Amino acid sequence: MWDTTARIPFEASLLSDRGDAETRGRLLELIADQPGITVDELHALRFRGLFADLRSFHRAGLIRTDTSAPRFFERATRVYAASSAF
């Protein structure tokens, strides 16, 4: 059973499609401007390919996530630019 109180509802396009270069740039700028923004807040902004982009940024070392629970795709996970101290 999917825990909808903790996790973002599954949308395949958010996991598999990446945003274009402009969208990816806006997403990185937003994360840098609002350190600690939650995954739920990012999801509400309807970025195309959000989770695919977040995973890509995370693998490339461009972002960090709050290391305490919850896990990466859960609503309360906070996202920071890699250069931000938290």
Task: For the chain, give the number of residues.
Answer: 86
- Confidence band for 25, pLDDT divided at 50, 70 and 90: very high
Residue-averaged pLDDT of the chain: 81
In this prediction, residue 86 carries a pLDDT of 43
Half-sphere exposure in the Cβ direction for 66 (13 Å, CA) = 16
Q: In this model, does residue 47 exceed pLDDT 70?
A: yes
Give pTM, 2 decimals.
Answer: 0.75
- For the domain made up of 12-81, give the CATH fold: Arc Repressor Mutant, subunit A (1.10.10)
Q: Which two tokens stand for residue 4?
A: 């909808």
In this prediction, residue 67 carries a pLDDT of 67
Q: Where are the domains of the chain?
A: 12-81
In this prediction, residue 73 carries a pLDDT of 67
In this prediction, residue 23 carries a pLDDT of 92
